[in-house]
Amino acid sequence: MSAAEEKAFVTRVSGPVVTVQGMAKAGMYEVVHVGELGLVGEVVRQSGDLATVQVYEDTSMLKPGAPVTRTGEPLSLWLGPGLIGNIYDGVQRPLPALQAVSGTWLPRGAKAGALDTARRWEFEPLLHPGQAVAPGQAVGLVRETPLVTHKIMVPPGVSGTVRSAAPAGAYNITDALAVVDAPSGLVELKMLQRWPVRVPRPARERRRVTELLVTGQRIIDTFFPLAKGGCACIPGGFGTGKTITQHQLAKWSDAGIIIFIGCGERGNEMTEVLREFPELKDPRTGRPLMERTILIANTSNMPVAAREVSIYTGIAMAEYYRDMGFDVAVFADSTSRWAEALREMAARLEEMPAEEGFPASLPSRLAQFYERGGAVTTLGGEAGSVSIVGAVSPPGGDFSEPVTQHTRRFTRVFWSLDTELANARHYPSINWLRSYSDYLDDVAESWERAAIGWRELRDEAMLVLQREEHYRQVARLVGPDALPDSQRLYLFIGAIMRDGFLAQSAFDAADAYYPPGQQVALLRAIMALYRGGRELIKAGASLAAVAALPCAAEMMRAKTAYAGAGELAAFESRVRGELAALARAGATEAAV
């Protein structure tokens, strides 16, 4: 009896977890179809003839005795032209296509191909008969969107000699584009590839991350940078701006492909993404941002099991485009909701709970996800990367809870969101004293290519901010008037740094995106005021005289008042000039 003919049926239903009898020949993580509606499920445990299946759809009205059909395959993605610009759920069902068929509400058992098999794509071949091919080699090119040229690649594990190759023309994703005489027999190469979501795609080697992922956000790029191929964590309590920060990064980062995973977030937040992204323009090309974006929507009211697999769906798509030589950025919002799905599934499976009820496998599951990021040399010899930014929503803003603590172990950037900053309407509400980046040395060379002198300025500015916090604590006890001018200078410059550099408005066209060179130019102007003011106060001038300078009053507005690094450099010259004039005036008074 074949796998497809073996009779199996439901014996027990516990929410999304179903026990099935007649599954002796089933494999772990094999996909099955449950009930008359063919609900999609995955085998997660086996014991003799019984198998435990987690179902990715609502199991309401499912009863013992319902038939179960095996597929003999693991949960796999359809990979090929047509992914960009699409919106999927956690198991890669295309939501726009399902909406066209079923309307607003997604019915149980609804099915649609992840990619349009009828659409024809213009194909430019790169192979010819008699040519030897290896895994990862480009078969041809397809213009997927005006921003993305899609490389049709030889799948991993396939090599040999080309027996025949299709000419240039229009083909659909299931047409044979080439036939390869491989050791195992003849293999047809198509635009469509299938890949198991839980299996990392192979690469030739992992490379050291050295390139800055430019986000245009000053506090991130200048103070806590992320490298292309790096992993970052954004923890924060409710209302601190995790989703908005990720939206900004998705809009403005210089990654070639953006994959946004809405994992268990509220429906209204995901609706905002779905409405906003199609209207956004790419800042570098002026084209719609959706022409290089894939959205995965798995909101909190959707089946919990699909939430668990959604991040694997996103990372597998990212690896596919990485193998074409793209720098891909993956934004997961939020991994806490994903971990909650793991906790619920573990409880249904009657596993022994660990910290705060989370399964003991939580650290390893987080590691499996974040370790699929990185910069690699692909099988085809391309340089590609996958950068991962995961939001964490600790209950009550408690960063000591398990998801935050374990995530810190596997990421090298920690952007700590602060409730007090968010309440003060300071965005991004990243606390500069509790955040860190371990990529400072790695990206230093690429940063210096964009703006010479970044690291020295950055370290000096951080020292100013740390001292400002110290003197703020002292001022709370004794009052600012009790401090000497040399110490009050730090409070003055710190206030300028906070409002004139660290805070950034997403609604101001001049402030929403700041290139690296412009960031350094603005910071250089602020630090020129600090250095000059420090020397003047040492020479006997008062802080009031420094603060009364016209340039000091303009410093708060400089981020939006001056466009480009050139205008900011001219403003810095003005700052130095006014400080020099004040020094000369002070010297004249002293001589008199």
User: SS3 for 428?
Assistant: coil
Say which residues have a Cβ less than 8 Å from residue 458's Cβ, sequence separation at least 6: 222, 223, 440, 523
- Quick check: 1 pLDDT over 70? no
Query: Mean of the per-residue pLDDT values for the chain?
Result: 92
Measured CA angle at 428 (ends 427, 431), to 5 deg: 110
Q: If we measure between CA atoms, which residue out of 567, 441, 435, 505 comes closest to residue 217?
A: 505
User: Are 50 and 19 within 8 A, CB to CB?
Assistant: yes
- Are 272 and 306 in contact, with CB atoms under 8 Å apart? no
By C-alpha distance, which of 524, 539, 553 is closest to 582? 539
CA atoms within 13 A on the CB side of 405: 10
Q: Judge whether 127 and 139 are in contact, CB under 8 Å.
A: yes
Q: According to the model, what pLDDT value does residue 590 have?
A: 57
Residue 472 has pLDDT above 50, yes or no: yes
pLDDT of residue 4: 46
388-405 as b/e: b if 16+ CB within 10 A:
bbbbbbbeebebebbbbe
Take residue 419 and report the two structure tokens written for it: 């409730």
Q: At residue 457, what are phi and psi to the nearest 5 degrees?
A: -65, -45
Residue whose tokens read 């209204």 = 268
Spatial distance between the Cα atoms of 310 and 254, rounded to a whole number of angstroms:
24
pLDDT of residue 319: 98
Q: Please state, in angstroms and rounded to a whole number, the distance separating the CA atoms of residues 303 and 107.
A: 12
Q: Is 90 exceeded by the pLDDT of residue 266? A: no
Written as one letter, the residue type at 166 is: A
Question: Which pLDDT band, with edges at 50, 70 and 90, does 5 fall under?
Answer: low
- Residue-wise pLDDT for 388-411, tens only, equals 999 999 988 889 999 999 999 999
Q: Are 415 and 232 in contact (CB under 8 A)?
A: yes
**Per residue in 203-238, pLDDT tens?**
999 999 999 999 999 999 999 999 999 999 999 988
Give the domains, in start order, of the chain with CATH numbers: 8-74 (2.40.30.20), 121-191 (2.40.50.100), 205-434 (3.40.50.300), 454-591 (1.10.1140.10)
pLDDT of residue 2: 47
Residue 589: which pLDDT band, with cuts at 50, 70 and 90?
Answer: low
| Other beta carbons within 10 Å of 367 | 14
Q: Binning pLDDT at 50, 70 and 90, where does residue 350 land? A: confident
Q: Given phi > 0 = left and psi -120 to 50 = alpha, else beta, which region is 127?
A: beta
Instruction: With cut-offs at 50, 70 and 90, classify the pLDDT of residue 587.
Output: low
Q: What is the pLDDT of residue 389?
A: 97
Closest CA to 220 of 510, 419, 416, 418: 416
